[in-house]
Structure 1
Amino acid sequence: MKNLKNRALLLTATAGVMLALTGCSTASDKPADTTTAAAENTPEAVQITVPDASEIFPKTAVTLKNATSVTLSGDMSRGTESVKMKLSGNKDGSNTKANITMKDGTLELLSIDGANYLKADKKFLAKTAGKEAAGMLATMVGDKWISVKDASQFGNFNLGSLLDNLGTDSMMSVEAPKVTAKSVENLNGVKTFKYVGNETDFWIAAEGEPYLLKIEATGPASAGSGNMMFSDWNAVAPHKTPATAEVISIPGL
């Protein structure tokens, strides 16, 4: 399966798509306003004052640093690369699951205590291994998981690395100074503080811990577009190891 491994390395470009949303814009000259929740026109909202980015971003950075698990759902593109993904599990990578959909197919990666497992559709297998090999693999594998020695060959979908890139240095010294507006916004039924940056918008939980709930790129498409949603902070249920009968090993993987 050497051909499969070599072609699959191309998927590492998706890491760049993910990081395109972490705030790579230039600084803004616009001053941040002092908008409050009064714009929502409700008695409850009027009582809420949106904190400055310089005040809440450092606190959010701490939640990123201290997080043990999270679920991330993203729909992103940059240049010719595009990807829809859902990543969930532990920040340290000991128990994670990734569901990836690209123009070249879909794949599912499961990593538990150092063991890695892969499922992929025929389109992905055909693109990465060729039609003949894809047909052979599909026949051999069926609905089973493929045991994989090194999951990184299929892309860098590390939750810990992503959160680190969104961490203290980025949010405090890079992103906070770029905020030009702020408000209270309902995000899927959750009250959030929204911060509008030069090329990136942020939604942070307005109640309880200031968890990061959404990032959206608003700059030129060439720099990266799309959004990432965050949920289940420190509450992701552990993924289960597939039963032995559900796993197949393929030489070369």
Structure 2
Amino acid sequence: MTITAVRTRRLAGITALGTVTALALSACGSSVPKLEEVWPEVREGIQNASSVKIVGEMDQDGQNVSLDMAGQTDDSSFGGKVTADGISMELVGNKEFTYIKPDAAFWEQQGAAAMQEMAGDKWIESPADIGMNMSSFYEGFRDESPEADEFADTEYTSEEVEHNGQQVYKYTGTDKDSGDPIVVMINKDNQLVRIESQGDSEDSGIGAIDFSEWNAVEPFEMPADEEIFSIPGM
């Protein structure tokens, strides 16, 4: 049996929302710093983050993917829940193993009702290299984060708004390829807190992703031996 149902292809939304590089955005709001002024520190934070929490949902290429994931970017500890194509699973893991709890739809898709009965409510132990870990969700986004000079000579609107109980800077523009609205929110510590793609283009991805707990995610506890089910042959 292969666990492929929710490898998620890196969470399509995070990679797609790398189109923040394409902000063809008219600067207004004199109290809000220019995006190109704050972005170097934002980008540095993205590049050097030791941990982060990522929550979001995206539709792209006919696939709906939602993610509620937190952990260390080096995969030493992570956990959360992933849903793709109507199949959900909880997961927790480290550099050695990923432990998953799939929903009934996963087992049905695998044609493995007997295995589901054997596993019960236990965590399924899988090799870390199945691609369901923190780095697989984060690396594409980190690698595509733009340099500040990519915002030169662009136009955008800027304002200060409240988001999740905190005051943040909101920058709104359009994707230069699709013409879809793109929103970037940055807090006053120059940390990225949200990216939105608000248009109707499946190519650019439609949805939003929130980022929080930068460098502050607590380690996850791995399941005890008696809570683990090992699939024969894996």
TM band (smaller chain): 0.7 to 0.9
- Greater Rg, structure 1 or structure 2? 1
Greater helix content: 1
Segments of 5+ residues of structure 2 without an aligned counterpart are 176-181
Establish whether residue 149 from structure 1 lines up as the match of residue 127 from structure 2. yes
Contact 2:65/2:84 (<8 A) preserved: yes
Establish whether residue 87 from structure 1 lines up as the match of residue 69 from structure 2. yes
Task: Specify the alignment match of 1:184 in structure 2.
Answer: 160
Establish whether residue 242 from structure 1 lines up as the match of residue 223 from structure 2. yes
Task: Specify the alignment match of 1:43 in structure 2.
Answer: none
Task: Specify the alignment match of 2:116 in structure 1.
Answer: 138
Structure 1 residue 157, shift from structure 2 partner: 5.9
- Identity score, percent: 26
Instruction: Give 1:34's match in structure 2, choosing from 28, 31, 45.
Output: 28
> How far apart in 1 are the matches of 2:167 and 2:131?
39
Task: Specify the alignment match of 2:15 in structure 1.
Answer: 19
Task: Specify the alignment match of 1:161 in structure 2.
Answer: 139
Establish whether residue 252 from structure 1 lines up as the match of residue 230 from structure 2. no
Runs (4+) of structure 1 exceeding 6 A deviation are none
Establish whether residue 214 from structure 1 lines up as the match of residue 194 from structure 2. yes
**Alpha-carbon spacing, 1:142–1:190, altered in 2? closer, same or farther (3 Å):** same
The TM-score with structure 2 as length reference comes to 0.86
Q: What per-residue deviation string (whole Å, max 9, x for no partner) do you get for residues 148-206 of structure 1?
A: 01453558862540442353xx1524456545111101001101000112132110002
> How far apart in 2 are the matches of 1:162 and 1:245?
35
Give the length in aligned residue pairs: 227
Amino acid at match of 2:29: T
Amino acid at match of 2:27: D
> How far apart in 1 are the matches of 2:155 and 2:130?
35
**Alpha-carbon spacing, 1:122–1:178, altered in 2? closer, same or farther (3 Å):** farther
> How far apart in 2 are the matches of 1:106 and 1:10?
8
Contact 2:66/2:82 (<8 A) preserved: yes
Q: Where does 1:35-114 land on structure 2 (aligned, <5 Å)?
A: 35-36=29-30, 49-114=31-96
Say which SS state the counterpart of residue 161 (structure 1) adopts.
helix
Structure 1 residue 98, shift from structure 2 partner: 3.2
> How far apart in 2 are the matches of 1:177 and 1:108?
44
**Alpha-carbon spacing, 1:139–1:210, altered in 2? closer, same or farther (3 Å):** same
